[in-house]
Structure 1
Amino acid sequence: MVAEPMTTQPGRDWLDLSSPPQPPPENPEAPAASRVSVARGGLSAGLLSGGLLAGGLAQLRTGAARTGSAAAGHLQPVLAAAAGPLRRVAPAWQGAAERVGAHPLASRAVGAARRAGALPWGRGLLLAALSGFGLAALFLVWCAATLPPLNGNLPSPRTLTVQAEDGTPIARRGVARGRTLPLQSVSPAMVQAFLAAQDPWFEDGYRLDATGIAAVIGRAFRDTISDGPRSGGPRLTQRLVRRDLIGAVPGQPRSLADRVREAMLVLWLSARESDAQILARGLDLARFGPGLTGIDAAARTLFDKNAASLGPAEAAYLAGLTLSPDMQPDRDVTEIRALGHAVLDGMMMRGKLTAGEAGEAGRALDGLGPVGTTPVTRSGFPDLALAEAGARLGPEPPREAVLRTTLDRDLQAMAETAVERRLDAAGRGGTRSGLLVLGPDGSVHAVVAGGAPLSHTPEARRAAAASLRHLGRDGRPVYDRLVAAPMPTAERRTALLTLLADLARPPEAADDPASRDGLFVGPVGDLLVGTYLSGTAADNGAGDGPEALFQDLAAQVAKVRPAPQVAEAREAARETGSTARGASRPAWQNPGERPTATPTLRGVPRVIDTGRLRLDGQSVRLAGVEGQGGALAREFRQYLRRREVTCQPAGSADLYRCRAGDQDLSEVVLFNGAGRAAPGAPPELQAAEASAKGRKAGLWQ
């Protein structure tokens, strides 16, 4: 076996196996490489004396060399890919490294490291510290190489349009990014409002010394940004970096890399850009609602103005939006106005508005709303419909999408007119009024919010899903539903009451007066209408209140949607080969002959339930009957199939005594057990109900 030559003494280049040389005494001042060489020589001599161990060592070295070569081959592409970012970062850090190496503290640190290496276990501790320092340096270099761009992530623009039943747009949503504007192209009112909302102390003096750097790093590792006076760091810059550049979501955990990147970017911007440049960048990257980025896009989209033309009230509205950018500008109007008033107070605190100017701007703000704000957008119905259509649009957002709903523009106009008339009659002071109309399938045909918009409850999502009629994506149809299944009457009534209570709740930013609230629900043809009124006008007496609002809408609907004429109904009956009197019907029993009354309403009715009919363009309630739905209503509809009905008023506006031929329909319903006698019903109707109970007919089975 041949031993590997090793130099141990001057003038000798081989080892005498019979008398191995003794290692020299340890010299703490000798270089580390010499001590390692001596130790390796001693170890090799011991292994060579074993013979077999030397051969194993040779094989081990050969395998290690092969493994190292294979690992280098695998790592070469990875190192080549990482070399690009590191080359860009290296020049920036080279000068800093040279300055650090020339500092007196650096030489002291080197001396301390040498002394620590001479101690027992000192080398291991020193190597561990150097490894940790190296890993930390690599982590910082990686964070610097992966910093986000300073102009933010540019989203691809897209448009989502919500339409009424006739194709008229009622709301638009989407993603828009405005042009980059210099600070001189933004109105001074908007600049001051933005500073009052984001950082009233931004223009205070700030030094980027050791204390300031420590404050910036400390704030980067906090989850919240203080709203108080500046304590060593620029809050506007930190909000700009955290929210708009890195894209951190409030309330969600942030990674260590994001915190380090935040500190780097804040220090970079504070050192390289002026306050005016940082402020212009903040206005350009600020969010003014979902999908709306930049002051240029916000001014043009919401107020159809240039950013240089914004007044104090409009600036306060937009600055309030930046405090809560998840709000919809044309939906959460009341909450945004409240934030705008807080912005005006901040402008007064900074001395940029006088009390008179702030009062004038506040009055203008109370009546201000973005372009396209309507009772429909404030109800939240378009956003609910888009949320329900999101799954059908697919995971990739479309460039353009069109959503058609069941909203009836004519009925919506009637509802808005009725609500405005009722508010005017009530004097408006502290009064809120709302209205909701549901179709037979539970879809929304008209809506006016009396308080806050509809929230994402199961009932609201179900109504929005029933309201979808057509969905198109990038010019291609995705979903079509012309007819939906009807909803049971009781279920629809429950859903309407739940939705109406949701619409009637006061906004979070509004001071709701302690007053009476009133709800009223009733049918108008095949529609179900619910009204709401709060305040002193909520009392149902003297014609004021929710019932009066309901009657107002019902009267408007009756004028434009008349019932089919009797002649048309008879002609339709002749075309089908049957007459009204000869039509087949279930074996219902007639209680007896009754004289014919003078008609007031006449026509072929449409059955809503066993106590209500749709006749001559209005809803008719059978006197003395509490109607039932379901199978009993279907039997009643079969009984009245194409039969001409005559109705005579019997008290209130919608209460009638109706006859089909010679038969009183109220008595027919009660005699067959298809309804209950209402409180105070006439004796003949109570007797008809008693007969049905005795025979166990209908619902008395």
Structure 2
Amino acid sequence: MTTQSGRDWLDLASPNLAGPDLPGSRPAPSRFSTAQREVSDRLARVRTGAAGAARAVLSPVMAAAAVPMRRVAPAWQGAAARVGAHPLAARAAGAAQRASTLPWARVLVLAALGAAALAALFLIWCAATLPPLSGPASVTRTLTVQAEDGTPIARRGTTRGRNLPADAVAPAMRAAFLSAQDPWFEDGYRLDAAGIAAVIGQAFRDTISDGPRRGSPRLTQRLVRRDLIGAPPGAPRSLADRVREAMLVLRLQAGEDRARILARALDLARFGPGLIGIDAAARTLFGKEAAALGTAEAAYLAALARAPGLQPDRDVTAIRALARDVLDGMVMRGDLSAAKAAEAGRSLDGIAPVWTTPVTRSGFPDLVLAEAADRLGPDLPQDATIRTTLDRDLQAMAEAAAERRLEAAGRGGARASLLILGPDGSVRAAVAGGTPLPDTPKARRAASASLRHLGRDGRPVYDRLVAGPVPEAERRTALLALLAGLARPPAGAEDAASRDGLFVGTIGDLLAGTTVSSAAAENGAGDGPEALFQDVAAQWAKAHPAPEPREARESARETGSMPRGTARPAWQNPGERAAPVLHGVPRVIDTGRLRLDGQALRLVGVEGQGGSYAREFRQYLRRREVTCQPAGGPDLYRCRAGDQDLSEVVLFNGAGRATPGASPELQAAEANAKARKAGVWQ
């Protein structure tokens, strides 16, 4: 084998592969012509010249850069010597030397194979640690809150119901649950390459959209993320949790039909803190089987499942507001007619869990439970009893007095609140006219003073039979702060702008505060707050007669007149209020009705349609702000999205019919839809 002159590769085209010293060997003729060799020699000279020029330019630069390096060279040499003497450095040097002998392409291939192996191991580990489809194991716990005499006033804890097939749940409950969780769950869905990519993309998003589906069904994703993996809404999730979510969603979508997925979601849904499954929710909250639930009860439970942080027997007003949204969604899906939805909405006003009382709605038991949990530690016992300072007799007097005030006002949105504190700042009676007691430092101090006995699994943990008195000024400040929370109108209340009258006085050694909304005073409730206080004080004086006439006269003076320094509230009639202009992002009930700012309104000139037309209208209005102006009727509005009149948009698309007496513009839009045979005119 020979080499060409001036070349650095072997001439493999030579027919004689014998060495030059072997017999019969001869030089092989060259494949390159003289011109080709000249070109090659010129290129070699050019490369040599360029290298020389580069050295001439870079040599001064490198010399200048080397000056500061020489100053620190001794320190670097010492550090390098110490690092090089370490055994790990020797191993790393050997590995680097071995890697340097490999071609770069082979190194890159090996690196890619190593990364793929690590990714495969990570996926295998995620698959091996998937949570079971039956959901996490739960331990039944019972926490009982008692009054001062040991009578239960509230129960909390953890309860999980039986697993039920889909046909063992009332159809209204299934429809309400889908309306709250995923109105598009029953639409067509294919688990092809695009569907798999959508599932993975949704798993890596931090929020689950409520709009029309663009990826996996929302119900399946909520089931996996919230109930199987147990990720709280808004909490940070690890990469492993996101991968597990994608795996479980794909597994459920590929291996189970929709009825089974719906049944699994109902069995694992949380209907309030510690209440798991539709079976436990129906029996605990309404005392009936899941198959016997009515439409209003189903809407109430579906609203709870959508907001499981709400307490069923405390946040009743907020849950009812969410339940009305669920009913609107059922109309939009076509599961419920508008008339039946209106009937169920009226029934919601009288629906509440069986344990609901004015005490539970005040939030007082939950404040005491939060204080007791700090003493019990992170591991709650299976059975605990908490005894409080609540006086059942005084509480009954307060509830009866508030009912009498509201009856005198004719209801009509009136609210009455009452709070009575003992000498030590503990709560003796509470009636909420608005929202529950907020969890504030003052409320926590009142809850701590109200905690008298704590028992854990039959053993006493804490006893506080005697508490020191609190200065009157401090007690009055705490009373006013707590009473402001009890009197605050709930979200979506129609009387949110009304004023509350306030009265504070003493009943013996107790400090009482009352509020009555201005609507009650306007409707003939008398001097509301003071009258409510006098009612309770009179009942208390009758039940606790003074032992001596002198003390009785002092008690009558205290309860029969206003405290010194307290001004009588001035009442004013606000007059007739004009319907306000509404702004915001609406919810679609049907193509002729919207819900905006908690108020149901009708689009002027439109007879709406439900079903697919309502779903399309909801998708059209998704996240768009509208402005609605009163149009003459009590709930009749002309709404616009930008420059578009929504009534005209609905009629132009054939999603509704024009009402008799509609404006010429709306009649023209309907005629256009008829000519095109659009929507209902097909």
Identify whether the pair has TM-score above 0.5, normalized to the shorter chain: yes
- Provide the secondary structure at the position in 2 that maps to 1:512: coil
Corresponding residue for 1:202?
185
Q: Offset at 1:617?
A: 5.0
Residues 621 and 308 (structure 1), Cα distance of their counterparts in 2 relative to 1, 3 Å cut: closer
AA partner of residue 367 (structure 1): G
Corresponding residue for 2:146?
163
Residues 120 and 146 (structure 1), Cα distance of their counterparts in 2 relative to 1, 3 Å cut: same
Corresponding residue for 2:328?
345
Identity %: 72
Q: Does 1:274 align with 2:257?
A: yes
Distance 2:188 2:135 in 1: 27
Distance 1:286 1:324 in 2: 11
The one-character-per-residue Cα deviations of 1:492-513 (angstroms, maximum 9, x if unpaired) are 1111111111111111232324
Q: Offset at 1:536?
A: 3.2
Distance 1:524 1:232 in 2: 63
Corresponding residue for 1:516?
499
Corresponding residue for 2:574?
none
Q: Does 1:356 align with 2:339?
A: yes
Residues 263 and 541 (structure 1), Cα distance of their counterparts in 2 relative to 1, 3 Å cut: closer
Q: Does 1:243 align with 2:226?
A: yes
AA partner of residue 294 (structure 1): G
Q: Where do 1:177-192 residues align within 5 Å?
A: 177-192=160-175
Corresponding residue for 1:105?
none
AA partner of residue 242 (structure 1): R
Contact in 2 for aligned 1:564/1:616 (Cα 8 Å): no
Contact in 1 for aligned 2:405/2:525 (Cα 8 Å): no
Q: Offset at 1:538?
A: 4.3
Of residues 110, 115, 132, the one that matches 1:132 is: 115
Residues 126 and 381 (structure 1), Cα distance of their counterparts in 2 relative to 1, 3 Å cut: same
Corresponding residue for 1:387?
370
Contact in 2 for aligned 1:430/1:512 (Cα 8 Å): yes
Q: Offset at 1:356?
A: 1.3
Q: Does 1:475 align with 2:470?
A: no
Distance 1:392 1:219 in 2: 41
Q: Does 1:366 align with 2:349?
A: yes
Distance 1:335 1:401 in 2: 29
Distance 1:174 1:520 in 2: 37
Q: Where do 1:51-62 residues align within 5 Å?
A: none
Of residues 264, 286, 297, the one that matches 2:280 is: 297
Distance 1:293 1:152 in 2: 10
AA partner of residue 319 (structure 2): I
Corresponding residue for 1:223?
206
Q: Offset at 1:26?
A: 13
The one-character-per-residue Cα deviations of 1:8-42 (angstroms, maximum 9, x if unpaired) are xxxxxxxxxxxxxxxx9999xxxxxxxxxxxxxxx
Q: Does 1:492 align with 2:475?
A: yes
Corresponding residue for 2:155?
172
Q: Offset at 1:626?
A: 5.5
Contact in 2 for aligned 1:401/1:473 (Cα 8 Å): yes
The one-character-per-residue Cα deviations of 1:293-344 (angstroms, maximum 9, x if unpaired) are 0000000000000000001000000000011001000000000001111111
AA partner of residue 439 (structure 2): H
Distance 1:26 1:359 in 2: 95
Distance 1:288 1:297 in 2: 9
AA partner of residue 287 (structure 1): R
Corresponding residue for 1:323?
306
- Provide the secondary structure at the position in 1 that maps to 2:386: strand
Corresponding residue for 2:126?
143
Contact in 1 for aligned 2:178/2:185 (Cα 8 Å): yes
Q: Offset at 1:178?
A: 0.4
- Provide the secondary structure at the position in 2 that maps to 1:510: coil
Q: Does 1:334 align with 2:334?
A: no
The one-character-per-residue Cα deviations of 1:425-457 (angstroms, maximum 9, x if unpaired) are 112112111000111111111000010000001
Residues 184 and 620 (structure 1), Cα distance of their counterparts in 2 relative to 1, 3 Å cut: closer
AA partner of residue 533 (structure 2): F
Contact in 2 for aligned 1:193/1:344 (Cα 8 Å): yes
Of residues 387, 404, 415, the one that matches 2:398 is: 415
Q: Where do 1:525-536 residues align within 5 Å?
A: 525-536=508-519
- Provide the secondary structure at the position in 2 that maps to 1:369: coil
AA partner of residue 466 (structure 1): A
The one-character-per-residue Cα deviations of 1:345-390 (angstroms, maximum 9, x if unpaired) are 1111111111111111111112110011000000000000000111
Q: Offset at 1:395?
A: 2.9
AA partner of residue 332 (structure 1): D
Contact in 1 for aligned 2:415/2:434 (Cα 8 Å): yes
Residues 452 and 320 (structure 1), Cα distance of their counterparts in 2 relative to 1, 3 Å cut: same
Q: Offset at 1:227?
A: 1.0
Q: Offset at 1:514?
A: 3.0
Q: TM-score, normalised by structure 1?
A: 0.65
Contact in 2 for aligned 1:290/1:328 (Cα 8 Å): yes
Distance 1:247 1:560 in 2: 52
AA partner of residue 220 (structure 2): T
CA RMSD of aligned residues (A): 2.7
Contact in 2 for aligned 1:316/1:344 (Cα 8 Å): yes
Corresponding residue for 1:562?
545
AA partner of residue 414 (structure 1): M
Distance 2:262 2:561 in 1: 71
The one-character-per-residue Cα deviations of 1:617-674 (angstroms, maximum 9, x if unpaired) are 54548999959xxxxxxxxxxxxxxxxxxxxxxxx9xxxxxxxxxxxxxxxxxxxxxx
Q: Does 1:377 align with 2:364?
A: no
AA partner of residue 461 (structure 1): R
Residues 444 and 229 (structure 1), Cα distance of their counterparts in 2 relative to 1, 3 Å cut: same
The one-character-per-residue Cα deviations of 1:492-551 (angstroms, maximum 9, x if unpaired) are 111111111111111123232433321000001111110001123347999421011111
Distance 2:456 2:171 in 1: 41
AA partner of residue 108 (structure 2): L
How many residue pairs match? The answer is 476
Distance 1:625 1:491 in 2: 17
AA partner of residue 305 (structure 2): T
Distance 1:476 1:550 in 2: 40
The one-character-per-residue Cα deviations of 1:152-173 (angstroms, maximum 9, x if unpaired) are 1121100000000111000000
Larger RCO (CA within 8 A; separation ≥ 6): 2
AA partner of residue 538 (structure 2): A
Contact in 2 for aligned 1:430/1:513 (Cα 8 Å): no
- Provide the secondary structure at the position in 1 that maps to 2:124: helix
Contact in 1 for aligned 2:534/2:559 (Cα 8 Å): no
Distance 1:120 1:417 in 2: 90
Residues 192 and 421 (structure 1), Cα distance of their counterparts in 2 relative to 1, 3 Å cut: same
Corresponding residue for 1:400?
383
AA partner of residue 443 (structure 1): S
Distance 1:344 1:236 in 2: 18
Distance 1:354 1:310 in 2: 18
Distance 2:562 2:493 in 1: 44
Q: Offset at 1:421?
A: 0.5
- Provide the secondary structure at the position in 1 that maps to 2:143: strand
Residues 275 and 540 (structure 1), Cα distance of their counterparts in 2 relative to 1, 3 Å cut: closer
Moved beyond 3 Å, runs of 4+? 24-27, 536-543, 614-627
Distance 1:286 1:26 in 2: 78
Distance 1:624 1:420 in 2: 22
Contact in 1 for aligned 2:408/2:525 (Cα 8 Å): no
AA partner of residue 260 (structure 1): V
